[in-house]
Amino acid sequence: MSGKILLVEDNELNRDMLMRRLNRAGLDVITAGDGEQALELMRSAQPAVVLMDMNLPVMDGWTACRHAREDTLISHIPIIALTAHASDADRLSALEAGCDDYATKPVDFPGLLIKIEKVSESH
């Protein structure tokens, strides 16, 4: 696939780890630490896919997703929710907020790559 991946994650370790693994998989990655930064970067960098942690400072992932879906500039960008909340209700709430897919931490990395491939192709 072409284009950048925007990784939104406030936990430093997890951000570093995921960015490096995505890089190793040959993907170009930019990162943000909170929901507001994420929205700014989506507008300015127009990434191909966004990986969004939901528990974020300043603006949480759910709010950021809703804003993204209302903004015509970026509403087309697919978002994969990435969260340690593992229940069905959490999954539903992420999808309702406008996420295209959902991955639970600890992340199954090969599975995540397939999800990224899938959402970028369908858009």
Partner 1 sequence: MSLRRRLTLSLVTILILFSINVGTHFWGSFARNESMEAYRNSVTAAQLSTQVEQLLNDKRQTILVLDTIRDNTDDQLDEEELRQAREQLESIRLRIRELGVVSHDVTRLHFDRLQESSQLLLDQWLGFYDGYNSPSYQSDVNDPVPYLQTSEHLKELEQRQAFIAVQRANIIDRTIALTDRITVIGFIASIFLTATLGFFLVRYTNRSLKHLKRGTERIGSGDLSYRIDNIDDSGELGDLAAAFNEMSDKLRNAMYDVSKARDSADEANAAKSIFLANVSHELRTPLNAIIGYSEMLHDELSDERELDRAQFQQDLEKIIRSGRQLLNLINDILDLSKIETGKMMLHCETFQPGDLLEQACDAITPQLRERNNQLHSPDLSGLPTLYNDASKFRQVFTNLLSNACKFTENGHINVIAREPPEHPGWVEIAVQDTGIGMTEAQQKLVFEAFVQAESSTSANYGGTGLGLAICRDYCELMGGSIRVSSEPGAGSTFTVLLPSDPELTLEAA
The full DSSP string for 20-77 is HHHHHTT-EEEEESSHHHHHHHHHHH--SEEEEESS-SSS-HHHHHHHHHH-TTTTTS
Nearer to partner 1, 45 or 85 (CB): 85
Minimum distance of partner 1 from residue 72's CB (angstroms): 28
SS3 107: coil
Picking from 110, 123, 39, 50, the residue whose alpha carbon sits closest to that of residue 80 is: 50
Residue with smaller CB distance to partner 1, 88 or 121: 88
Binding residues vs partner 1 (CB under 8 A): 10-11, 13-14, 16-18, 20-21, 24, 55-58, 60, 84-87, 104-107, 109
- Residue with smaller CB distance to partner 1, 46 or 63: 63
Q: How far is the CB of 55 from partner 1 (least distance, A)?
A: 4
Which CB sits closer to partner 1, 30 or 84? 84
CB of 99 to partner 1, least distance (A): 17
Say how far apart CA 70 and CA 54 lie, in whole Å.
18
